Amino acid sequence: MDAEQKSVELNLEYGKIDAIIGSYSGEKSALIAILQEIENLYGYLPTWALKYVSKKLEIPMIQVYGVASFYDAFHLTPRGKHLIRVCLGTACYLRGSSRVLEAIENELGIKDGETTGNLKFTIQSVRCLGACALAPVMVIGESYFDKMTPTRAGKVLKQIQGKKEDD
Distances (CA, A) of 45 to 35, 50, 69, 118: 7, 7, 10, 18
pLDDT digits 0-9 by tens, 10-62: 778 889 999 999 999 989 999 999 999 999 998 899 999 999 999 999 999 99
pLDDT digits 0-9 by tens, 63-111: 999 999 998 789 998 888 899 999 999 999 999 999 999 999 999 999 9
Global pTM value: 0.70
What's the one-letter identity of residue 86? V
CATH homologous superfamily for the domain 82-162? Glutaredoxin (3.40.30.10)
